[in-house]
Chain A
Amino acid sequence: MAFNFDPGVMLDTLPMLMRGLKWTALITVGGLFFGFILGAGAGLMKLSRGWAARKFAGAYVETIRGTPMLVQAMFLYFGVPMALGLRIPPLVAGIVVIAVNSGAYIAEIVRGAVQSINIGQFEAGRSIGLTRAQTMRYVIWPQAFRRMIPPLGNQFIISLKDTSLLAVIGVGELLRTGQEIVAVNFRAFEVYLTVGLVYLCMTMAIAHALRRVEKRLAARVRR
């Protein structure tokens, strides 16, 4: 049985992938939005003076970084409902998994960026009578945030690709949609090639946008 590559299949596949693409985009953006909130909270907790807060945030980061995302997804989607007796809609599960997962990595990004700011900035803020919180908000955070942008962009790309793992729990994202098409037309080569190219286009677009933002920031810092 000779294999014959049929580019026409790829063209037919593309529009059928759009629904999955929408889910992928939604889960990535939603997941990272909540992931950033979680990560900023956990990152700042790791820097706080409170022992309990530090330990708690540390345990979260260690746990998530030390386990595969696929296991986290399956635990949340199949395991947690058994314990709680309620089903989680796939879209919600997808966003929660990406949020909780990216949050752990973003916590480290936030912590690293804040720690990279010269201690003198903190002391200068305190010396004009600002509280710890005010110093963080007006002095440290704006400077740290600029330093977070490159690693956050990188995390954006990682999380986008990670959404494909959600296919396993039946979330109708890009890869899952591809699988469904293959189940009908048996053109695995063309369909997965197309799926891969769509991911590549998205990651390249993000990387490109990121380079532009970084350039603009660099220009602003030099002024």
Chain B
Amino acid sequence: MITIENLHKNFGGLKVLRGISLHVDKGQVVCIIGPSGSGKSTVLRCINRLERPTSGRVVVDGHDITDPSTNINLVRTEAGMVFQQFNLFPHMSVLENVTLGPRKVRRLERGQAEKLGLELLAKVGLADKAASYPDQLSGGQKQRVAIARALALQPKVILFDEPTSALDPELVGEVLEVMKRLAREGMTMVVVTHEMGFAKEVADRVIFVDQGVIQEDGPPHEFFSNPRNPRLRDFLGKVVSHT
């Protein structure tokens, strides 16, 4: 589904990604963990080309996004994205947020798009909020709308960038529940997260990124119970002591 080969990304002189290679199979849930500034968001943003890779190859569902002839807008509909800060459109109702993509990108008629939108809102437990505006929602509700908005394009994979980091602790659970449901339904997911519990429970693989390279990549039970990499051990120690 996603193949990344020797991905490098520089911001000016700053080498943020220094050779990332990663393969995500269809239906897999991959969690990416790592310290702040290690380049986790940058990896995700290179997958749907919100950032242009400096070098290396990124192939999403058969489309090489580093190839200039690739229709990037099409690839972006295949790879939905959920942001830490939700980034809902504040001037649109919840339903309009969800239907904008289907209508303008998929060219569905309003009626069809709204039917789809309401189904997806029901799926994330927010059917009754269709007419509300983002300002009227809690953080957890906003993030669930954002997930519905991403799902509305019927993507093959969803990229989550710390989807619960901006939430009050009591709202984290409702968002993780929705994500777990998606995982069970077979959605391919790449999730940057600090929620170690979620990673342990849901991930097929956990990846530890530090200093722009993948330091460790493995199934969660090995990863957490028996971390070989000293930097990972150090990182896990810090995270656990904080929670």
Contacts and interface: CB of A to CB of B under 8 A. Distances in A.
B38 to A, nearest CB: 20
Given A128-B101, A129-B74, A130-B73, A123 B50 contact: yes
A197 interface: no
A121 interface: yes
B89 A127 contact: no
Contacts of A139: 89, 100
B80 A127 contact: yes
Most buried by B among A118, A126, A129, A138: A129
A218 to B, nearest CB: 12
Interface string B138-151: 00000000000110
B81 interface: yes
Contact of B76 (A128, A142, A221): A128
A127 B50 contact: yes
A127 B50 CA distance: 8
A128 B105 contact: yes
Interface in A138-165: 138-139, 142-143, 146
A127 B100 CA distance: 12
A221 B133 CA distance: 9
A130 B89 contact: no
A9 B50 CA distance: 69
A130 B101 contact: yes
A143 B91 CA distance: 7
Nearest to B71: A129
A141 to B, nearest CB: 10
Interface in A92-143: 118, 120-121, 123-131, 134, 138-139, 142-143
B87 A123 contact: yes
- For the side of the interface on B, what is the size category? 20 to 34
Interface string B47-67: 010100000000000000000
B193 interface: no
B60 to A, nearest CB: 13
B136 interface: yes
Interface in B70-93: 73-74, 76-77, 80-81, 83, 85, 87-91
Contact of B135 (A126, A127, A146, A222): A222
A40 B135 CA distance: 28
Contacts of B105: 128-130, 134
Nearest to A119: B87
A49 interface: no
B153 interface: yes
A121 B133 CA distance: 15
A130 B150 CA distance: 12
Interface of B: 48, 50, 73-74, 76-77, 80-81, 83, 85, 87-91, 100-101, 104-105, 133, 135-136, 149-150, 152-153
Q: Which 3 A-B pairs have the closest CB atoms?
A: A128-B101, A124-B87, A129-B77
Given A118-B87, A120-B83, A127-B76, 19 more contacts: A121-B89, A123-B87, A124-B83, A124-B89, A125-B89, A126-B73, A127-B81, A127-B83, A128-B80, A128-B100, A128-B152, A129-B76, A129-B77, A129-B153, A134-B104, A134-B105, A143-B91, A146-B91, A223-B136
22 contacts: A118-B87, A124-B83, A124-B87, A126-B73, A126-B76, A127-B48, A127-B81, A127-B150, A128-B80, A128-B100, A128-B150, A128-B153, A130-B100, A130-B105, A134-B105, A139-B89, A142-B91, A143-B90, A143-B91, A146-B91, A221-B135, A223-B133
